[in-house]
Amino acid sequence: MAQKGDLMTVRHDIRVLDATLRDGGLVNNFYFTDDFVKALYRTNVKAGVDYMEFGYKASKEIFDADKYGKWKFCDEDAVREIVGENDTDLKIAVMADVGRCDYKNDIVAKADSAIDMVRVATYVNTMPAAIDMIEDAKNKGYEVTCNIMAISNAQEGDVRTALKMLGESPVECIYIVDSYGSLFPEQIRRITELYLEFASIYDKKLGIHAHNNQQLAFANTIEAVASGVSYLDATMSGMGRGAGNCSMELLLGFLKNPKYKQIPILKFLEEHMLGLKKEGAVWGYDIPYMLTGQLDLHPSSAIEAVKAGRTDYKEFYMEMVDR
Amino acid sequence: MAQKGDLMTVRHDIRVLDATLRDGGLVNNFYFTDDFVKALYRTNVKAGVDYMEFGYKASKEIFDADKYGKWKFCDEDAVREIVGENDTDLKIAVMADVGRCDYKNDIVAKADSAIDMVRVATYVNTMPAAIDMIEDAKNKGYEVTCNIMAISNAQEGDVRTALKMLGESPVECIYIVDSYGSLFPEQIRRITELYLEFASIYDKKLGIHAHNNQQLAFANTIEAVASGVSYLDATMSGMGRGAGNCSMELLLGFLKNPKYKQIPILKFLEEHMLGLKKEGAVWGYDIPYMLTGQLDLHPSSAIEAVKAGRTDYKEFYMEMVDR
């Protein structure tokens, strides 16, 4: 596969998406202060970030609104309170999970919303529902992307079918998602090649959402860039479920487009991210996450182990391989 | 460049070197307890690691032996006390720095030593001295490798000259060294290609020693493997100067040769590495290291900043770019 651009190239197709509130929200049940969220918004505007994902559009019929911060639901009012008319170049995104979002009711027409983009998240086996959500969001006037999750555990034949269905849908961008943090750069290159096969037929963009279980979130993201992926997810300090994501500060240090500025990010890290850690939010590379990544398992057991303060790594490993 | 092997391949040319005592020694001035060193030795034997680097052969004329632990000097007696006759498959290595090692006197004939391999470390501009050290060690009966340090700051023409000199020397393996943690995988692939040009002419092996300033130590190591590099440096928990190195636990989780066992490593991490951290040894990815890596600078300023507990990242960045 030919490399797309090199280290000196400005790639005008690239879009950086800050997923701190959404994937980071999985760490603290979406309890971010308004002060934090406003500062993050201003930081992303200054840093030239293209999209800021505010959280999920989760259904309050399914989830108890008293048990989560407001970014689990991203009500219009909540978003408006932060962004006003959002008279900036930063676009606003939300994620909508198949089966957890009452999209027909909770996603209003784009004309009435501060939100610009709906990111539909699905497993391979729930593609028909995902397609319905994509069409719904598109008809309402949104940009729409789709994350196919947990592909490291899926059959290639099923992934091909999903890509064809997405190709024929009105989705704009298809995301490669390494949910378990199990993929190596050479696999990312191979997967990108597969996705590009469909993306070029159907004229879609590709994105990547990586996890850091094996300290490869940044590496996999920049390898995907070199292979032709355009939409790049990152979070401040890599904040995200379990081992976390690709760090914004690493990504903006790599991208050569002068529109991206690192200094606002550095300010935000010192003024806001250190505080979150001090208050007890826990994320980032650790041995239990590494092990579930290496074993291509969902990180839930590792998250439990880290929460419980377990450091009996060998025992944890044996539990993972014996189950 | 063609990929050498893939994820399913056992590559019989691969050699794993544990550099915990040597690069990790830069974190704690080589003050490891004998208990730690013995456990590390037993762990490496059980895990199938090929080489264990015990530390430096530094000159006591230059360095005050009272200010460092014994692994800065690696006296024969000290090594013997750990390994006895070393009746195992694990080979013993030491590093000898150009200008800091009285090699004529301090490195004895292999026949009288527990050490198997001398790793000469040099900058591009001290190659003639390095060649003398390589010849000396070879004549005394050792396996010899050479690390050309800080190549991210060197001219390619000078690196080519150095590679030719090494090619014509009796060195067995030439190491690609990312001293500043500034290199991206695509650069590692390009550099490997350059080194392979000379390695194939002169029939030398290649090695890689990576740093984790940009969370790329593991990624760069496995990219180098895929490109044809054989000798791989790693350390327990990535312990090493500043941001540290490629983690042994990540590397052995990646390599497919069944001779490498991960479980002894996991035991060692829980029983010994967590304790080192608790006692105050500090290493691993942090924003100041990321910044010196991105700026292709020696990590010394970042090490000072982290030691001083500085978290004014923006200010630190400005100091680095303004100097």
Determine which helix (DSSP H) or strand (DSSP E) holds A93, and give its type and residue range: strand A91-97
For residues B96 and B22, what is the distance between their CA atoms, to the nearest angstrom?
Answer: 11
For residues B296 and B180, what is the distance between their CA atoms, to the nearest angstrom?
Answer: 6
What are A255-270's pLDDT values in tens digits?
A: 989 999 999 999 999 9
Q: Which residues of B120-151 are buried (b: 16+ CB within 10 A; e: fewer)?
A: bbbbbebbebbbebbebbbebebbbbbbbbbb
Cβ neighbours of A135 (radius 10 Å)? 14
Chain A to chain B, count of Cβ pairs less than 8 Å apart? 98
Q: What is the DSSP string of A33-89?
A: -HHHHHHHHHHHHHHT-SEEEEEE---TTTS-GGGS-GGGT--HHHHHHHHTT--SS
Cross-chain residue pair B266–A212, CB shorter than 8 Å? no
Please give the average per-residue pLDDT across A20-46, as a whole number.
Answer: 98
Conformation bin of residue A184: beta by default, left when phi > 0, alpha when psi is -120 to 50? beta
Half-sphere exposure (CA, 13 Å, Cβ side) for B293?
A: 31
Q: How many angstroms from the chain centroid is the CA of residue B313?
A: 28
For residues B84 and B98, what is the distance between their CA atoms, to the nearest angstrom?
Answer: 29
Give the pLDDT confidence score for residue B311 in this predicted structure: 97
- What residue of B is the nearest CA neighbor of A236? B287
Please, which pLDDT band fits residue A323 given cuts at 50, 70 and 90? Answer: confident
Cross-chain residue pair A317–B262, CB shorter than 8 Å? yes
Give the pLDDT confidence score for residue A229 in this predicted structure: 97
Q: How many angstroms from the chain centroid is the CA of residue B209?
A: 5
* SS3 category, B65: helix
Give the pLDDT confidence score for residue B47 in this predicted structure: 98
A152 in contact with chain B, both atoms CB, cutoff 8 A:
no
Give the pLDDT confidence score for residue B6 in this predicted structure: 76
Please, which pLDDT band fits residue A7 given cuts at 50, 70 and 90? Answer: confident
Give the pLDDT confidence score for residue B258 in this predicted structure: 92
Structure tokens at B135: 């010849």
Q: Which residues of B212-236 are buried (b: 16+ CB within 10 A; e: fewer)?
A: bbbbbbbbbbbbbbbbbbbbbbbbb
Low-confidence ranges of chain B (pLDDT < 70): 1-2
Please, which pLDDT band fits residue A247 given cuts at 50, 70 and 90? Answer: very high
**Window 70-109 of A, Cβ < 8 Å to B:** none
Please, which pLDDT band fits residue A60 given cuts at 50, 70 and 90? Answer: very high
What are A101-135's pLDDT values in tens digits?
A: 999 999 999 999 999 999 999 999 999 999 999 99
For residues B211 and B219, what is the distance between their CA atoms, to the nearest angstrom?
Answer: 10
For residues A291 and A285, what is the distance between their CA atoms, to the nearest angstrom?
Answer: 11
Give the pLDDT confidence score for residue A29 in this predicted structure: 97
Conformation bin of residue B26: beta by default, left when phi > 0, alpha when psi is -120 to 50? alpha
- What residue of B is the nearest CA neighbor of A264? B314
Question: What percentage of chain A has pLDDT greater than the value 70?
Answer: 99
**Window 283-302 of B, Cβ < 8 Å to A:** 285, 287, 290-291, 294
Give the pLDDT confidence score for residue B3 in this predicted structure: 72
> Is the separation of the CB atoms in A56 and A95 below 8 Å?
yes
Please, which pLDDT band fits residue A1 given cuts at 50, 70 and 90? Answer: low
Closest among B11, B30, B54, B2 to B251, alpha carbons compared = B11
The answer to whether the pTM exceeds 0.95 is yes
Please give the average per-residue pLDDT across A200-228, as a whole number.
Answer: 97
Give the pLDDT confidence score for residue A2 in this predicted structure: 65
> Is the separation of the CB atoms in B108 and B140 below 8 Å?
yes
Closest among A281, A284, A242 to A31, alpha carbons compared = A281
Which one of A218, A294, A314 has the shortest CB-CB distance to B216? Answer: A218
Q: What is the DSSP string of B217-285?
A: HHHHHHHHHHHT--EEEEBGGG--STT-B-BHHHHHHH---TT--SHHHHHHIIIIIHHHHHTT---S-
For residues A37 and A112, what is the distance between their CA atoms, to the nearest angstrom?
Answer: 22
Please, which pLDDT band fits residue A158 given cuts at 50, 70 and 90? Answer: very high
> Is the separation of the CB atoms in B224 and B217 below 8 Å?
no
Cross-chain residue pair B317–A249, CB shorter than 8 Å? no
For residues A148 and A132, what is the distance between their CA atoms, to the nearest angstrom?
Answer: 15
Please give the average per-residue pLDDT across A34-50, as a whole number.
Answer: 98
For residues B319 and B323, what is the distance between their CA atoms, to the nearest angstrom?
Answer: 6
For residues B272 and B255, what is the distance between their CA atoms, to the nearest angstrom?
Answer: 23
Task: Say which residue the tokens 């030719």 belong to.
Answer: B164
- What residue of A is the nearest CA neighbor of B225? A186
For residues B240 and B212, what is the distance between their CA atoms, to the nearest angstrom?
Answer: 9
* B308 Cβ contact list (under 8 Å, min separation 6): none
Give the pLDDT confidence score for residue A176 in this predicted structure: 98
In this predicted structure, the answer to whether residue A83 has a pLDDT above a threshold of 80 is yes
Cross-chain residue pair B317–A266, CB shorter than 8 Å? yes
B218 vs A contacts (CB less than 8 Å): 214-216, 219
Picking from B250, B271, B274 by the largest number of A CB atoms within 10 A of its own CB, the best residue to mutate is B250
Which one of B222, B294, B317 has the shortest CB-CB distance to A263? Answer: B317
Give the pLDDT confidence score for residue A10 in this predicted structure: 84
Which one of A214, A247, A249 has the shortest CB-CB distance to B250? Answer: A214
Give the pLDDT confidence score for residue B10 in this predicted structure: 84
